[in-house]
């Protein structure tokens, strides 16, 4: 899937869909365009609210295609709807601010090395892993008034 990675390291969402043999339609462009505008991770509901002219089902269907294509990461936050973020690098992990809900990403070779050493301890074949680090981000550390975006 090295095909559609642009300079910044982020994946072109429209191309990711096209690579899977999906048509380039107005609704899909609206969804991918909106996602690319967002800096933060987002929920399906976020997109539906931002794109009232795109049917809810189409938003969900497009997100699913993007996750299947590996262009989006699904982040099952502990409560509420899962969030999604653009997969900017091939394999990475996420930081989630527990104050404001901001999602960041990082890569650390040691994590992968640990995985290899775990292989001995685990009773089966490792086929993947997921890791999230919960933080209080710098912005929230400096701001006593931060409000948790993801609360409901």
Partner DNA sequence: CTCAGTGCAAATATTTTGCACTATG
Partner DNA sequence: CATAGTGCAAAATATTTGCACTGAG
Q: Out of a second copy, DNA, none, which partner does residue 138 contact, by CB within 5 to 8 A per kind? A: a second copy
Residues near DNA (CB under 7 A): 22-28, 43-45, 53-58, 60-62, 64, 79-82, 152
Closest distance of CB 17 from DNA, Å: 8
Q: Out of a second copy, DNA, none, which partner does residue 90 contact, by CB within 5 to 8 A per kind? A: none
Task: Please state, in angstroms and rounded to a whole number, the distance separating the CA atoms of residues 64 and 88.
Answer: 17
Beta-bridge partner residues of 106: 93
- Residue pair 83/73 in contact (Cβ under 8 Å)? The answer is no
Closest distance of CB 29 from a second copy, Å: 26
The pairs formed by 31-37 with CB atoms below 8 angstroms and a separation of 24 or more are 31/58, 31/59, 31/62, 31/63, 32/62, 32/66, 35/66, 35/72, 35/84, 35/86, 36/86
Closest distance of CB 32 from DNA, Å: 10
Residues near a second copy (CB under 8 A): 1-3, 74, 76-78, 82, 95, 97-98, 104, 106, 108, 110-111, 114-115, 117-118, 120-138, 140-141
């Amino acid at each position: 899937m090295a095909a559609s990675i642009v300079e910044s390291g982020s994946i072109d969402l429209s191309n990711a869909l096209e690579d899977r043999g999906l048509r380039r339609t107005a609704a899909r462009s609206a969804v991918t365009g909106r996602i690319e505008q967002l800096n933060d991770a987002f929920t399906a509901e976020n997109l539906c609210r931002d794109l009232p002219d795109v049917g809810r089902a189409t938003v969900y269907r497009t997100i699913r295609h993007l996750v299947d294509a590996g262009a989006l990461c699904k982040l099952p936050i502990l409560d509420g709807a899962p969030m999604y973020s653009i997969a900017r690098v091939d394999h990475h992990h996420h930081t989630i601010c527990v104050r404001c809900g901001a999602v960041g990403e990082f890569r650390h070779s040691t994590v992968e090395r640990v995985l290899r050493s775990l292989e001995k301890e685990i009773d089966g074949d490792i086929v993947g892993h997921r890791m999230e680090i919960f933080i209080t981000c710098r912005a929230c550390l400096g701001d006593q008034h931060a409000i948790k975006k993801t609360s409901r």
